[in-house]
Amino acid sequence: MTMFLKPVIFLHDSCLATLSLLFPSFVYLYTIYKKFHGGRSEASINGVKISIETTWGQQLRNLFIVPIFKYLVALCLIVSLLVFIEGIYMNLVILYVKLFNRKPERVYKWEPMQEDVELGHESYPIVLVQIPMYNEKEVLQLSIGAACRLIWPLDRLIVQVLDDSTDETIKELVNTECAKWESKGVNIKCERRDNRNGYKAGALKQGMKHNYVKLCNYVTIFDADFQPEPDYLQRSVPFLVHNPEVALVQARWRFMNANKCLMTRMQEMSLNYHFMAEQESGSTRHAFFSFNGTAGVWRMAAMEEAGGWNDRTTVEDMDLAVRAGLLGWKFVFLNDLAVKSELPSKFKAFRFQQHRWSCGPANLFRKMIMEIIRNKRVTIWKKLYLIYSFFFLRKIIVHFFTFFFYCVILPTSVFFPEVNIPAWSTIYIPSMITLFIVIATPRSFYLVIFWILFENVMSMHRTKGTFIGVLERGRVNEWVVTEKLGDALKTKLVPQIGKPRNGFFERINSKEMIMGIYILCCACYGLAFGNTLLYLYLFMQAAAFLVCGVGFVGT
C-alpha cells in the first residue's frame, strides 16, 4: 500500500510547493490589475478574502524592496567586473607563455636522468609512489599496474599501496595484485590501518611513518583511478633534481571517459580550463598553484618543512601546497605531461565531489587567513595573490556570484522592470568568459549552452558548500569517496547485473526541483509582462534545473 501512496504524496507535495511559489506572483499581479481599476486590491482563495492596500504596498515596494534589489544588482555588477578582470589576466599570462614559448623546460633547468658508469643506478634518486585507495574494486588493478610499469630503476623505486578497504574480498584482490608485481621484481608494499581517521590525508600521513620511506628523496601520489604513462617519472623528477628550490611538479589530467555522457563532457571543459588557466598561469607568474592531490611529485624535504599532511580540512592537498608556498618553495606545472584519469559519471557522485571541492577551500581560507597575513617569508604581492585571487575570488566569491546573479537576481528581475541590468553584465562579459573557457576544449564548442546551464545548476551546490566551509558548520568535514566505475579504458557502457535500478521518485533532487519551478514561474511572468527577451534564458535555465531535479543527468 505504501508503494502506491508514494506517487500521490509526491504529487501532493509538489503541488503545494508550486502554489507556494505562484501565490506571491498571483497576488502581485492582481494588485497591479486593481491599481489600474482603482480602489482596494482584493483576491479570494477557497472562500478566504485577501485584501491588499495598493498605496501601502506600493510604498513598501518603492521604499524598501526596490532599493535593496538595486543594491544587490550593483554588488553583482562589481563582482562580475572583478571576475572578468581575473579571467583576462590569466588568459594574458597564457598568451604570453604561448607566444614566447615559456615552457618549464626553458624556465627551469632540465636534463634527462642518466646512469653513471661508476655509480650505476645510484645516480637516480629513490622515488616513493603512493596509491591511496578505499574499496576500489573496479580500478585497483589499473592503478597498481600503471604505477609498477613506471620506467625507473627497480632498486630506486618503491610502490606503496595504502589500502583502507573494509571489504575483505577487495583486500584479498589488493594482496593478489601486489604479490603479482612483487614476483616480477617490483618493490611494492601494501600498508593498512586499523581505522580511517583523517581519510586520505590520514592514510598518506601514516604511510610516511614507515622506515623505508626515510630513504626516499621524492614522493608521487596517484589516486586509485589514475594511470600514469611509463615515462612519467623520467619527465617530471629531473625538475626536482636540477632545481633545489622546486618543491612540487604537477602534471595535468587527461580524461579517458570524457565521452561517456553529456555530464562528463561538461566536466572536461571546466577542468581543462582549470589546468590551462589557473594552474599554468599560477605556475608562470607566481611559481605557485594548488596541488591537485594526485599526479604530482613532491620533494620530501619540502613536505617535512611544511609540516606534512594535515587532515583539518577535506582539501589536504591544497593545505600542504599553501603551507609549502608560504615557506618560499616553488611549484612547476607541466601542461604537456598528462595522466589518465576517470571523471565521475553519476550525478550523485559528482555532487559529493563538488561539495568537497568547494567546502574544503573555503574552510581552509578561514583557518589560514591570519597565517598568510602574518607570514614574513614571502613578498606582499604573493600574499595578496593568495588572499585575493587564489582564495577569495576563485574559491569563494565566484560560487556565490554565479548562483545568486544568474539563478536568483536575473530571474527575480522580471518583477522589477524599473531596475536596469546592463547588457554588458548579462551578455558581453559572460560571453567572453565562456569563450575563454571553451578555448581549452575546442572540440566541445557546440556544447557551450549546455555547459553554461549545467554550471549554473552546480553553482547552487558549490555555494552551499562554500557557506558550510566559511561558517564551519554541518558537513564541513564530510568525505565521500568519489565512485569509480573502472571504465576509463572501455568504449561502451556495460550494464551492471544484479543491481536494481533506482525508481523515478528515488532519483528526485528536491533542491533542483524547487529552483527549477521558481525560475520557470519567473520565465512565464517575463513572457507575459516583460519587455525583454530574458525569458528565453530563464526557460532554458529552468529546464536545466528540472532535468537535474528528476535525475536525468549522467549515467
Residues 165 and 135 sit within 8 Å (Cβ to Cβ) = yes
Query: What count of other Cβ atoms lies within 10 Å of the Cβ of residue 373?
Result: 10
- Torsion angle in degrees (nearest 10) through CA of 548, 473, 270, 482: -70
Please choose, from the candidates 316, 321, 318, the residue with its C-alpha nearest in 3D space to the C-alpha of residue 331: 321
Amino acid identity at 499:
K
Q: For residues 412-435, b (16+ Cβ closer than 10 Å) or e, as one string?
A: bbbbbeebebeeebbeebbeebbe
How many secondary structure helices (H) and strands (E) does the chain include? 21, 9
Cα separation, 386 vs 178, in Å, equals 41
Q: Which residues contact 296 (CB under 8 A, 6 or more apart)?
A: 220, 221, 248, 249, 250, 251
Alpha helices (H) along 135-254: 140-148, 168-182, 199-207, 232-242
Cα separation, 438 vs 446, in Å, equals 9
Cα separation, 143 vs 256, in Å, equals 14
Whether 231 is a known active-site residue: answer no
Which of 164, 223, 225, 311 is labelled catalytic? 164
Residue whose C-alpha cell reads 568547494 in the numeric block: 358
Residue 113 backbone dihedrals phi, psi, to 5 degrees: -70, 135
Q: How many residues belong to the chain?
A: 555
| Burial (CB count within 10 angstroms: exposed 0-12, middle 13-18, buried 19+), residue 22 | middle
Which of 223, 311, 317, 487 is labelled catalytic? 317
Q: What cell was used for 406?
A: 544568474
Cα separation, 384 vs 508, in Å, equals 43
Cα separation, 543 vs 548, in Å, equals 9
Whether 164 is a known active-site residue: answer yes
Please choose, from the candidates 312, 357, 362, 359, the residue with its C-alpha nearest in 3D space to the C-alpha of residue 199: 312
Cα separation, 191 vs 203, in Å, equals 9
Query: What count of other Cβ atoms lies within 10 Å of the Cβ of residue 36?
Result: 7
Please choose, from the candidates 356, 354, 392, the residue with its C-alpha nearest in 3D space to the C-alpha of residue 372: 392
Helix (H) or strand (E) holding 160: strand 157-163
Q: Which residues are catalytic?
A: 164, 317
